């Protein structure tokens, strides 16, 4: 029987950021970038993500070419950069333009597969056509830097579901514009795995983020996504079924893992990365045993 290679896993930016959370000011990791890269490479990951404030800090200290050398020397194959908002409103360009320029520079120098973008928090909108032209503009600029634009739908934002986002991508109709499909946002939006499979085309999926959560939301949706995510297979969601669904439409990785929780942030970064890697890997079929102990439920969670 042919050996099934282990899936390539990417530590999304918050998974390796240490004790910092979204919407803190600044969102800069307390972990030195060189130490962070060493911990990521040393715990089995194939790539990692960086948020805007960490990128700004890296540019002003060691510089992007030196950061690229650290990444290459560590043997990491994939880089992701995020997050841009406000991009649909030209009247706010004084707020987001400089951020986009930095993300474009980072993507070009670091070889990022895509720039992740989001939309404003609030109730999801039914009419999204006003985003088509701005997304085309961003995508054209990204193409000049050799990268792409990936929109992440979130149930507490203007683009609230993956089916709505997939319809939007069909209207944008540019191969350099696609989606990041985060499992937490899928199930908290009430989208079933069957609905997910029916709505997506494989070329639309630029990135996937694995995670888990309890059955019930604690606090607001944003508070729950920031503070209460669970390691893959240690919550109540069907992580293995999500992976199977994405594979069924033709997505084969690399697979992002985005763990955001107070518990995760409290751990030493290497320990947090080990737990996130081991539990995510265990949700794939025929994953080889790693012998890495993780807190909570057993790591053998494929179901």
Q: Which residue has the tokens 């947090």?
A: 272
List, in order, residues 6 or more apart from 116 with CB less than 8 Å away.
Answer: 49, 80, 81, 82, 83, 84, 150, 151, 152, 180, 207
* pLDDT of res. 3: 60
Domain residue ranges in the chain: 13-281
> What number of residues does the chain have?
303
Closest CA to 255 of 194, 199, 207: 207
Contact of 142 with 149, CB cutoff 8 Å:
yes
Q: Considering only the top CATH level, what class is 13-281?
A: alpha beta
CA distance 148 to 140: 9
**Local structure of 67: helix, strand or coil:** helix
Q: What are phi and psi of 81, to 5 degrees?
A: -130, 145
In order along the chain (303 residues), what is the average pLDDT of each group of 10 residues? 79 97 95 97 98 98 98 98 97 95 98 97 97 98 96 98 98 98 98 98 96 97 97 98 97 97 98 98 74 40 29
* pLDDT of res. 2: 53
**Local structure of 230: helix, strand or coil:** strand
CA distance 201 to 207: 13
């Amino acid at each position: 029987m042919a050996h099934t290679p282990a899936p390539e896993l990417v530590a999304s930016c918050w998974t390796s950021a240490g004790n910092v959370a979204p919407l803190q000011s600044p969102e800069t990791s307390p972990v030195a970038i060189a130490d962070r890269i060493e911990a990521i490479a040393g715990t089995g990951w194939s790539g990692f993500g960086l948020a805007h404030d960490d990128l700004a800090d890296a540019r002003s200290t060691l510089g992007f070419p030196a950061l690229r050398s650290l990444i290459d020397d560590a043997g990491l194959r994939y880089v992701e950069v995020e997050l841009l908002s406000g991009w649909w409103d030209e009247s706010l360009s004084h707020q987001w333009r400089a951020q986009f320029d930095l993300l474009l520079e980072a993507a070009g120098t670091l070889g990022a597969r895509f720039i992740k973008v989001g939309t404003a928090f609030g109730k999801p909108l039914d009419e999204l056509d006003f985003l088509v032209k701005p997304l085309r503009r961003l995508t054209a600029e990204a193409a000049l830097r050799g990268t792409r634009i990936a929109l992440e739908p979130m149930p507490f934002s203007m683009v609230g579901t993956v089916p709505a986002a997939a319809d939007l991508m069909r209207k944008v109709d540019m191969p350099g514009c696609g989606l990041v499909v985060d499992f937490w946002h899928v199930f908290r939006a009430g989208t079933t795995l069957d609905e997910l499979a029916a709505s997506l085309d494989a070329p639309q999926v630029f990135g996937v983020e694995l995670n888990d959560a309890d059955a019930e939301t604690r606090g607001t949706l944003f508070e729950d996504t920031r503070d209460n995510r669970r390691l893959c297979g240690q919550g109540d969601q069907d992580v293995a079924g999500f992976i199977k669904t994405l594979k069924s439409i033709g997505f084969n990785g690399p697979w992002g893992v985005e763990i955001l929780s107070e518990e995760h942030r409290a751990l030493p970064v290497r320990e947090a990365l080990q737990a996130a890697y081991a539990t995510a890997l265990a949700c794939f079929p025929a994953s080889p045993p790693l012998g890495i102990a993780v807190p909570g439920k057993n790591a053998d969670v494929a179901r």
